[in-house]
Structure 1
Amino acid sequence: MEPTVGAQPERKLVEMAWDPITRIIGNLGIYTKIDFANREVVECKSTSSLFRGYSVFMRGKDPRDAGFITSRICGICGDNHTTCSVYAQNMAYGIKMPPLAELIVNLGEAAEYMFDHAIFQDNLVFVDFCERMVKETNPKLLEQAERTPAPHADVHGHRTIADIMRSYNPFQGAMYREALQMSRLTREMFCLMEGRHVHPSTVYPGGVGTVATPQVFTDYLSRLLRFLDFAKKLVPLNDDLIDFFYEALPGYEKVGLRRTLLGCWGSFQNPDVCDYKYRTMTKWGRAMYVTPGIVVDGKLVTTDLVEINLGLRILLGSSYYDDWEQEQTFVQEDPLGNAIDKRHPWNQTTLPKPQKRNLEDGPYSWVMSPRWFDGKDHLALDTGGGPLARLWATALAGLVDTPYVKSTGRSVTIDLPRSANYPERRYEWRIPEAGANTLERTRARAYFIVYAAAMAMHFLERAMDLVRQGDVKVFEDFAVPDDGIGCGFHEAVRGVLSHHLVVRDGKIANYHPYPPTPWNASPRDEYGTPGPYEDAVQGLPIFEENGQESFKGIDIMRTVRSFDPCLPCGVHMYLGKGRVLEQRHSPMLGLGAR
């Protein structure tokens, strides 16, 4: 029971937990307190039970190995880590990559966005919206869906909204099965550019090892054109289903709604501008084909990667770590003379402190709490699952202008060329009036799939022009300095990704990767500010028709999964100091501990 507030009746709160959250990860737990009488989630805490320690064991390594090691942070978006690490190393070593190498990396990352977003949307997220799930949680809604014609049936071929829902039934639905086929196609596209999925074998500081021939780009293009047929069905199909939820369930726009605090670190380097120098980072950051930016309450407050970098803070509060305030300071000033805070990733020292989970008034997660300090407040930015923040920041900035994608200051227009079964199509993502909620995070993912496909067409054309001109250089030689610092900014599939590197005496002195999931899954920080999962779930109205006894929490699950959670990136294996239990001599292996 909670205490009575004013004249309000006393609330009866029921504690319910989903641990682990399934589909992708096995170490994210969502712990809630629910008021079933008023159909509301009153409190939420996001926990993680896994720590892996990359920031600890990267120290002392050869910095040239960083991309290969950090790729193993994740078995889903490992290439994003490799790419971001290469960006950080390029800065530390003073490298400008050849233009063709940049385009090859961009093509690989575009294929990764197409692969991962499509398989997550159609095989993981939309299971929450499929006929089987809706029948179990909202049978009245399914009855209405059976009677509701799909507005774009002529494009995607599904007559009613219920038919769309059936197409996402696991292992049987048409879209579910087609997405699996597309996952193979897009992985092949990725491997043509980066050698191996999901841990690239041809991406290094200085460039790539990909052999740039007309054939390799033609092979990529042939697959891309097949994928375009799928993408052209995906957007109208997603719009039909999401718009139906708004119309059939008045008030559903409040599910997963939180204050608009979005962060995007930018993606797809422009080879004409990018030189990886910190002093010019503002310029080349704004030239990216996905614009970096921070959106607060609908306003774009910055597109400056230097400003974004300076505002990064890593807070504790509810995490299983000791503070590092008394530890070594690695970087006092950036190359422009700006002071670097002790809580910045360049200066972080990871000091794990295993302990019992305390959901009432103590630490409860291995995830730290990344925040962005605007000079006044430590903002709990989220990534909108990746696409929402990317599209929102890019739209407001109005800086992207290519033959296929343009940002207008209020929207993003995307033009896809003719493909095997469909003519040219234009799509326009508009800043949603409903705000940053569960449905709009989900909708944005479909639009960013076509965004990535359109940009891939642009990069292919530019790469082929270079090859025809005989410019096939894909690597720039370099030397590792004795001392240096670097920061890489990129968009992992799920959103913001940064790698911060400090080199001393030719070795890694400090290294901190910050993927999107620590931002989204962070617990309450030292100021009591909840992380985005927590913030989006608590206060959430419940539309599920089941009562407490058979409650599945589908609105909660849709909300958490709308962020595209991936906790392996969120926390990084701790073995402790350990102790020898027994030593035995083996004539084959020598003396070893068991």
Structure 2
Amino acid sequence: MAPKTKAAADGSGLVEMAWDPITRIVGSLGIHTKIDFKQKKVAECYSTSSVFRGYSVFMRGKDPRDAHFITSRICGICGDNHATCSVYAQNMAYGVKPPHLAEWIINLGESAEYMFDHNIFQENLVGVDYCEKMVRETNPGVLELAERTAAPHAGEHGFKTIADIMRSLNPIEGEFYREALQVSRYTREMFCLMEGRHVHPSTLYPGGVGTIASVQLFTDYMSRLMRYCEFMKRVVPLHDDLFDFFYEALPGYEEVGRRRVLLGCWGALNDPEYCDFTYANMTDWGRKMFVTPGVVVDGKLVTNDLTEINLGIRILLGSSYYDDWQGQEQFVTHDPLGNPVDPRHPWNQHTIPAPQKRNFDDKYSWVMSPRWFDGKDHLALDTGGGPLARLWSTALSGLVHTDYVQATGHSVVITLPRTMTKPETRFEWKIPKWSNALERNRARTYFQAYAAAIALHCAEKGLAEVRAGRTQTWEKFDVPDEGLGVGFTEAVRGVLSHHMVIRDGKIANYHPYPPTPWNASTRDTFGTPGPYEDAVQNTPIFEENTPENFKGIDIMRAVRSFDPCLPCGVHMYVGPGKTVKQMHVPTGLSGLGG
């Protein structure tokens, strides 16, 4: 459990400030803080969500074949990730193995989604936090230094100084900001080529896809992919220059958004030569994914076994607006291998909403507290925004080896081939010292290049299938009267699992767990804060503004580095600020509270 920071014992106060909503996408994530301006750090943080969706409630009784169409509507941003994960769970429950070509097509669709979504978030959403206008408003001294600092990789990206990079990220008018918008257009086209419609796929089904595969299809995809590879050869060095500068300009900035290394990755992009979607073989085919699953604790790989990962998931209610389901029916007592399944596992979850007034001393959010049980502790894993956990897990496992990607055990080497104006380029993402805001953002950039490299591999494999005449893209199946399925993949922002129980040919229980519940979770039953809360608590304040004009940029950077997706609209509520007085605690009695 992370310690809860208290105000200084000399009677100084804390100032309450709230950003609600805090993100630039959809609008229900609130970050509520108590800030110690004398110590220049965040003392307390609470993450809230004002929205109850209830998908797990109304999925009951539905035809299982509709699951992916319904659950893709969970999100208007990464709906295809949900559809894909649901299809994986259905494949397991129905006992169907799609043709190889279908899986290569799905991989190409998902890779395009990573390229599209990470690009638009990195450059057009979180990038604004590092743009010239924002830095001018919050850290004018840093901007002055940026004007005098030459960009080390100017030859690769074309911007002479760090300030030039910052100006290029200014909303609407910035050169790089506008270019990224164009990139988001053709990467979305790449997705639509493979799965028909973005963001709710129209040609994705259990058993495969309805896409008509042809040489022309892959050619159209590849022409756009090579444009993207050319783009990434500028993006990676640009962001390296920008993020490295913040470490140099603001000593101690590594503490912004930093938390203990507790990373979860559920793996993504199956290799059809090994994946048969059976639970019995899940450990083996999971390790053949092109993004390797894994739980990383304090920098060490705890497991990359999907079966172990599945069995370790626990759903704690903590400070969320739900009643406990203890004493309710347990749908699954043992998995297909005979391993016992915990009552708090998603297969056994009952969703019992209990709306009430928000109380930060008790219940304060609609987000539950997923945890991963390692046999001793309920770990508050985060996704590192998605890419940090994915690259860290893949690097440590050292299992991915293609012509374009090599996982070394301590890094990931990415090779992008020669493009229109740039030669073959090699990037190496190395495991960083910290899990913090800047490294989450940096990993997002490198993973864009990683997704492009894996797409090159999958496109070559898919094209080989077409040229060999193996053009089948769907395998028929029957829905069983009784069935069990789990799908694992990576949504853009991190871990995604869909857990389904079938009875009498209908869905008896269905629980999707995307990255948001993991990252935005509340304090759990044991009092452990969720990742957003933990990352913001104790974050130092580097902003140069006074409390009266405080914008909270360091707090925003900490939260947005996770690529939060509860949310949208950048509204901020500060008002005059409310000072919270705390009683003086006599020496020796601090452990008793204040």
Return the TM-score normalized by structure 1.
0.94
Conserved 8 A contact 1:4-1:11 = no
Note the C-alpha offset of 1:6. 12
1:217 aligns with 2:245: no
Q: Measure, in 2, the Cα distance between the counterparts of 1:374 and 1:35.
A: 35
1:397 aligns with 2:397: yes
SS, match of residue 281 in structure 2: helix
- The within-5 A match list for 1:179-194 is 179-194=180-195
Q: Measure, in 1, the Cα distance between the counterparts of 2:115 and 2:5.
A: 51
Over 3 Å counting, the alpha-carbon distance change for 1:397 and 1:349 in structure 2 is: same
Note the C-alpha offset of 1:8. 4.8
SS, match of residue 545 in structure 1: coil
1:467 aligns with 2:466: yes
- The within-5 A match list for 1:235-246 is 235-246=236-247
Residue of structure 2 in register with 1:572 after alignment = none
Amino acid at match of 2:213: A
Q: Deviations over 1:527-577 (max 9, x none)?
A: 0000000000000000000010000000000010000001179xxxxxxxx
Amino acid at match of 1:525: D
Note the C-alpha offset of 1:326. 1.4
Q: Deviations over 1:376-418 (max 9, x none)?
A: 0000000000000000000000000000001000000000011
Over 3 Å counting, the alpha-carbon distance change for 1:503 and 1:177 in structure 2 is: same
Conserved 8 A contact 2:62-2:506 = yes
1:501 aligns with 2:497: no
Note the C-alpha offset of 1:22. 3.1
Residue of structure 2 in register with 1:21 after alignment = 22
Conserved 8 A contact 2:23-2:567 = no
Over 3 Å counting, the alpha-carbon distance change for 1:506 and 1:6 in structure 2 is: closer
Amino acid at match of 2:460: E
1:431 aligns with 2:431: yes
Q: Measure, in 2, the Cα distance between the counterparts of 1:562 and 1:25.
A: 16
Q: Measure, in 2, the Cα distance between the counterparts of 1:558 and 1:400.
A: 31
Amino acid at match of 1:372: W
Conserved 8 A contact 2:21-2:567 = no
Q: Deviations over 1:187-208 (max 9, x none)?
A: 0000000100000000100000
Q: Measure, in 1, the Cα distance between the counterparts of 2:328 and 2:26.
A: 33
SS, match of residue 120 in structure 1: helix
Note the C-alpha offset of 1:9. 2.8
Q: Deviations over 1:117-163 (max 9, x none)?
A: 00000000010000000000000000000000000000100000000
Q: Measure, in 1, the Cα distance between the counterparts of 2:217 and 2:208.
A: 17
Amino acid at match of 1:540: T
Residue of structure 2 in register with 1:558 after alignment = 557
Note the C-alpha offset of 1:213. 0.3
Amino acid at match of 1:447: Y
SS, match of residue 525 in structure 1: coil
Residue of structure 2 in register with 1:583 after alignment = none
SS, match of residue 326 in structure 1: coil
Over 3 Å counting, the alpha-carbon distance change for 1:147 and 1:485 in structure 2 is: same
**392-401 or 6-15: which moved more?**
6-15
Q: Measure, in 2, the Cα distance between the counterparts of 1:193 and 1:568.
A: 28
Conserved 8 A contact 1:25-1:565 = no
- The within-5 A match list for 1:559-574 is 559-567=558-566
- The within-5 A match list for 1:78-93 is 78-93=79-94
Q: Measure, in 1, the Cα distance between the counterparts of 2:241 and 2:13.
A: 38
- The within-5 A match list for 1:144-543 is 144-359=145-360, 361-433=361-433, 435-543=434-542
Residue of structure 1 in register with 2:99 after alignment = 98
Amino acid at match of 2:292: T
Residue of structure 2 in register with 1:578 after alignment = none
Q: Measure, in 2, the Cα distance between the counterparts of 1:6 and 1:496.
A: 35
Conserved 8 A contact 2:7-2:14 = no
Conserved 8 A contact 1:73-1:568 = no
Conserved 8 A contact 1:267-1:288 = yes
Q: Deviations over 1:7-29 (max 9, x none)?
A: 95333100000011130131100
Conserved 8 A contact 1:28-1:46 = yes
Residue of structure 2 in register with 1:582 after alignment = none
Q: Measure, in 2, the Cα distance between the counterparts of 1:7 and 1:338.
A: 50
Amino acid at match of 1:95: V
Residue of structure 1 in register with 2:577 after alignment = none
- Larger relative contact order (C-alpha < 8 A, sep ≥ 6)? 2
Conserved 8 A contact 2:380-2:518 = yes
Conserved 8 A contact 1:266-1:289 = yes
Note the C-alpha offset of 1:4. 12
Note the C-alpha offset of 1:422. 1.0
SS, match of residue 481 in structure 1: coil
The alignment yields a C-alpha RMSD, in angstroms, of: 1.3
Q: Measure, in 1, the Cα distance between the counterparts of 2:443 and 2:10.
A: 40
Over 3 Å counting, the alpha-carbon distance change for 1:257 and 1:7 in structure 2 is: closer
Residue of structure 2 in register with 1:66 after alignment = 67
Amino acid at match of 2:432: P
* Unaligned segments of structure 1, at least 5 residues: 570-594
Q: Measure, in 1, the Cα distance between the counterparts of 2:23 and 2:260.
A: 26
Q: Measure, in 2, the Cα distance between the counterparts of 1:406 and 1:560.
A: 31
Conserved 8 A contact 1:123-1:170 = yes
Q: Measure, in 1, the Cα distance between the counterparts of 2:466 and 2:565.
A: 38
Note the C-alpha offset of 1:228. 1.3
Amino acid at match of 1:362: D
Note the C-alpha offset of 1:73. 0.2
Q: Measure, in 1, the Cα distance between the counterparts of 2:31 and 2:23.
A: 11
SS, match of residue 11 in structure 1: coil
Q: Measure, in 2, the Cα distance between the counterparts of 1:229 and 1:289.
A: 22
SS, match of residue 283 in structure 1: helix
Q: Measure, in 1, the Cα distance between the counterparts of 2:406 and 2:262.
A: 23
* Unaligned segments of structure 2, at least 5 residues: 569-594
Over 3 Å counting, the alpha-carbon distance change for 1:177 and 1:505 in structure 2 is: same
Q: Deviations over 1:259-298 (max 9, x none)?
A: 0000000000001100000010000000000000000000
Conserved 8 A contact 2:286-2:293 = yes
Q: Measure, in 1, the Cα distance between the counterparts of 2:252 and 2:463.
A: 50
Q: Measure, in 2, the Cα distance between the counterparts of 1:188 and 1:6.
A: 52
Note the C-alpha offset of 1:520. 0.2
SS, match of residue 510 in structure 1: strand
Conserved 8 A contact 1:29-1:48 = yes
Conserved 8 A contact 1:214-1:467 = yes
Conserved 8 A contact 1:490-1:496 = yes
Residue of structure 2 in register with 1:591 after alignment = none
Q: Measure, in 2, the Cα distance between the counterparts of 1:4 and 1:123.
A: 34
Conserved 8 A contact 1:372-1:379 = yes
Residue of structure 2 in register with 1:75 after alignment = 76
SS, match of residue 567 in structure 1: coil
Q: How many residues align?
A: 565
Conserved 8 A contact 1:4-1:10 = no
Q: Measure, in 2, the Cα distance between the counterparts of 1:521 and 1:22.
A: 12
